[in-house]
Amino acid sequence: MRGPHNIWRLIRTLATMERTGAIGVVLAALDAPPRIRLVARVLGWPFAWVGLKGDETLPPATRALTALGPAYIKFGQILSTRPDVVGPEMALQLQYLQDKLPPFPVDVAKAMVEAELNRPVSEIFSEFSEPVAAASIAQVHRARLADTGVQVAVKVLRPGIERSFRTDIDAFYLAARIIEMLSPASRRLRPTDVITHFEGVVNGELDLRLESAAAGEFAANTENDVGFQVPKPIWNLSGRQVMTLGWAEGLSLADNAALDAAGHNREVLGTRVLQLFLSHALRDGFFHADMHQGNLKVAANGDIIAYDFGIMGRLDEYTRRVYAEILFGFIRRDYRRVAEVHFEAGYVPADRDIDEFARALRVVGEPIFGMDATYISMAKLLAYLFEVTERFGMETRTELILLQRTMVVVEGVARSLDPRINIWQVARPIVEDYIKENVGPKAILRDLTRTARVVGRFGPRLPRLVEDLLIRQGQTVIVVPPRRRLHPALWMLAGSGMTALGVWLGALL
């Protein structure tokens, strides 16, 4: 489906932004340069008549994004958590996108449930409500199990959502290629790879069986986390287009007035959201990658309840250590060490100046320490970070996209609860605990133990592996006489001397 015909989709996007009046509002909120605003208006005005009209009762930006479809709605959901980037008024308007989108009829939802589970809805549920929340990909119904009377949430995909997302993603691919063609400097950001990564994420979100698996794993990992709850999936009532899990009763994390009225401490909640995210990312390497306010509630006892597990992130142990060392370096204001970690991990080309990079990082970190968060412009900070990555030739790391994006979203959620929160102070205890356990002598001993176990499993094959390695390197290897009882490794060691010994020691290390 990718091809020039997607140009129409891109033209219609710009035209819709112009027709709904969103283009001027969005660029103003993002504080875009006057030149960019002029170009956007000049390109958008002639095509405004082909733009989508949208719901005229909604504010311009929300109206445009809902008209354009689910992929654009996802983008708006992310921006809704960043009042420091788009402004508090725009962020408040975009919160509509989190769980208040127009639902599809309950009869359609019931028909999809029956088709997926091969049973009548009345046989499974004694109650099945109208939609209680409607998002970009699915909507949720409150139901009661007929056999136990337990309340559950039933999530049903929107009809035709896969085709809709495919259309948007194809257009994004074309946009990425156009950007790469017109701006060679943008290639270091690997826009096409970024779209490929998000395509994989979206495909996973469109299969509710995978979300059920993610919910089960996440619930098991966080079972002992104080102040945190995860509803568990009900496997026999879940499938590709339908997922059933425990009901989460609580107040929306986006409703500050209701939280205050209920007596919840928003400063504590803001701190907990950040620390839980860091703990899951560093400790487990498996984290909720869509933690906006629409996916978080607060229970009556103050626990944070997470749901909607369509987008989850994973980090291997090495990446977690690199990430923790970078955070720890910022917390300690050791910018030289932060720079060294970037070079050691290959995030910055080796031919760049490490001292200059450390100075650039200092500009990022210093304004945050000791300053009221209400005076920190995250928009300006992000703009400077982009300049730094361009200056030092840093390429986009697709394996870190979800982590970086979620960190931005979670920090936005925390700041909406507590505008004065400082992410470095809140992160310090979590990162320090991880560093103590995973970087240093204790971690080295644990790594060596794991390595010994792996080598032990391959023990019977090691002699043959060494022999094959030596043959490939052109070494002379003594053939083991058929009647000898000595282990082949001893014959190899005797025949090839220190070469084989070196190979053995290397394998063990």
194-242 pLDDT per residue, tens: 677 767 777 777 889 999 999 999 999 999 999 999 999 999 999 999 9
d(CA 471, CA 492): 11
Q: Supply the residues annotated as catalytic.
A: 290
Secondary element (H or E) of residue 6: none
- Which residues on adjacent β-strands are paired with residue 228? 304
Look up the pTM and report it: 0.71
C-beta separation of 354 from 342 below 8 A: no
Position 96 scores a pLDDT of 74
Position 247 scores a pLDDT of 93
d(CA 252, CA 272): 15
For the ranges 56-65, 89-98, 112-121, 180-189, the one whose mean pLDDT is highest: 112-121
Helices (H), 69-105: 70-79, 83-86, 88-94, 96-99
Q: What percentage of the chain reaches a pLDDT higher than 70? A: 75
CB atoms within 10 A of CB 186: 14
- Which residues on adjacent β-strands are paired with residue 155? 140, 243
Q: Kindly indicate the confidence band of residue 440, based on its pLDDT and cuts at 50, 70 and 90.
A: low
Picking from 151-165, 177-191, 328-342, which range would have the lowest pLDDT averaged per residue? 177-191
Q: Is pLDDT at 158 greater than 80 in this prediction? A: yes
d(CA 262, CA 258): 6
Map tokens 């910018």 to a residue.
335
Tokens of 156: 């049903």
Cα–Cα distance list, 151 to 88, 141, 245, 249, 442 (Å): 36, 11, 9, 10, 46
Position 501 scores a pLDDT of 41
pLDDT digits (tens, 9 = 90+) for 324-335: 888 888 888 888
Q: Is pLDDT at 489 greater than 60 in this prediction? A: no
Position 223 scores a pLDDT of 93
Dihedral angle over CA of 253, 257, 258, 261, nearest 10:
130
Position 365 scores a pLDDT of 76
d(CA 307, CA 404): 20
For the ranges 102-111, 157-166, 346-355, 448-457, the one whose mean pLDDT is highest: 102-111
Secondary element (H or E) of residue 288: strand 286-288
C-beta separation of 242 from 233 below 8 A: no
Average model confidence (pLDDT) across the chain: 79
d(CA 73, CA 196): 18
Position 237 scores a pLDDT of 95
CB atoms within 10 A of CB 332: 15
Average pLDDT, integer, range 265-289: 92
Q: Is pLDDT at 505 greater than 70 in this prediction? A: no
Map tokens 């986390």 to a residue.
225
Helices (H), 460-497: 462-472, 488-496
Average pLDDT, integer, range 105-132: 94
CB atoms within 10 A of CB 1: 11
CB atoms within 10 A of CB 484: 10
Q: Kindly indicate the confidence band of residue 379, based on its pLDDT and cuts at 50, 70 and 90.
A: low
Amino acid symbol at 179: I
Q: Is pLDDT at 58 greater than 70 in this prediction? A: yes
Average pLDDT, integer, range 157-170: 83
C-beta separation of 174 from 7 below 8 A: yes
Strand, coil or helix: 224: coil
Position 306 scores a pLDDT of 94
The C-alpha angle 22, 189, 175, rounded to 5 degrees, equals 45
